[in-house]
Amino acid sequence: MIDWIFGFVLLLLFVMENIYFKIAEKYKIIDVPNERSSHHTITLRGGGVIFYFGVLVYGLIFGFFAPWFLCGLTLVAVVSFLDDMHPLSAKLRLLVQALALLFLMVQLGIHEVSWGYVIVALFVCLAILNIYNFMDGINGITGGYSLVVLLALWAINTWVVQIAPAGFIPVIILSLLVFNFYNFRIHARCFSGDVGAVSIAFILLFLLGTFIVRTGEISALILFGVYGIDGVLTIIHRLMLKENIGQPHRKHLYQLLANEGKVPHLSVSLIYMAVQALVSAGYLLVAVYLPSYTLLYAIASVILLVTIYLPLRRKYYALWTGK
């Protein structure tokens, strides 16, 4: 019976995605290439709205849960979708994201601790949401990387501690499979848009935050390790160059690999997926068999990733600058 339900959910999500395509075509919700883009053809934007639809479909079939989380997700999804259609001010987006994250923290119960922790958590979560959005720049990377992170969280939910109702993560995985069917291609049918990147990041933050609150394992942030290293070190580099970090650019390592290194988009996405899968698999093994060493593992993983990242960035950034 459960198999039939998930089969129906998958079919429903495909139908919803194609209905959105018709709407996007009619109202010209498209991504037009510019000098900072890594693609060269006009493509539908906002296909990642299917992640939000996945949460709604789960609620309608299995029952809604976590109401504050749903409120926050709805806020960021709506504002991000509006931004996909007509760019909004960065201050407005950040304000809405902060409010949505406060809803998320109420859901997680973090509001019951001191305000100092809440402020730190809010800053970290805002950074993760926006880095996740910044990292959405080539075919397959958002859908593929998110799938790897979600599979790790599903393993945690199954073997370590329950962080969501049994069917929730599988439904979100199905929404990712639908999106990847249209995006993980040489010539993508659609891009996720801000609505997709921010929504899936918010969902992953909810699941990861639940795990951290229930176990105290802040080391679980390593499940975002590959994105985190590329995102944070690129921001630091751009600050050193005195650039506006809110402006679009092509200085992330994945962009340098795809544009200057001429590595195919899907190959770059697969590399990011594979590296994160290895890091996550190692973390899960340590969490199950050597739980007292999870923080040490996370720190060692960050050091190793940075050690690999910096020479690669130096090499491909030299191609970008022509030096």
Average pLDDT of the chain is 93
CA angle 70, 62, 110 (to 5 degrees): 35
| Main-chain dihedrals φ then ψ at residue 30, nearest 5 degrees | -130, 160
pLDDT at 139: 95
pTM of the model: 0.96
CA angle 295, 154, 187 (to 5 degrees): 105
Length reported for the chain: 323
User: Which residues, 6+ apart, have CB-to-CB distance to 166 below 8 Å?
Assistant: 157
State how far the Cα of 259 lies from the Cα of 263, in Å rounded to an integer.
7
pLDDT at 319: 82
CB 132 within 8 A of CB 145: no
Predicted confidence (pLDDT) per residue in 173-229, tens digit = 999 999 999 999 999 999 999 999 999 999 999 999 999 999 999 999 999 999 999
Predicted confidence (pLDDT) per residue in 290-311, tens digit = 999 999 999 999 999 999 999 9
Predicted confidence (pLDDT) per residue in 62-112, tens digit = 999 999 999 999 999 999 999 999 999 999 999 999 999 999 999 999 867
Question: Can you tell me which residue has the tokens 């883009």?
Answer: 37
Domain extents in the chain: 16-178+190-321
State how far the Cα of 45 lies from the Cα of 29, in Å rounded to an integer.
6
pLDDT at 8: 96
Nearest-CA neighbor of 272 among 236, 297, 309, 246?
A: 309
Predicted confidence (pLDDT) per residue in 216-264, tens digit = 999 999 999 999 999 999 999 999 999 988 787 889 999 999 999 999 9
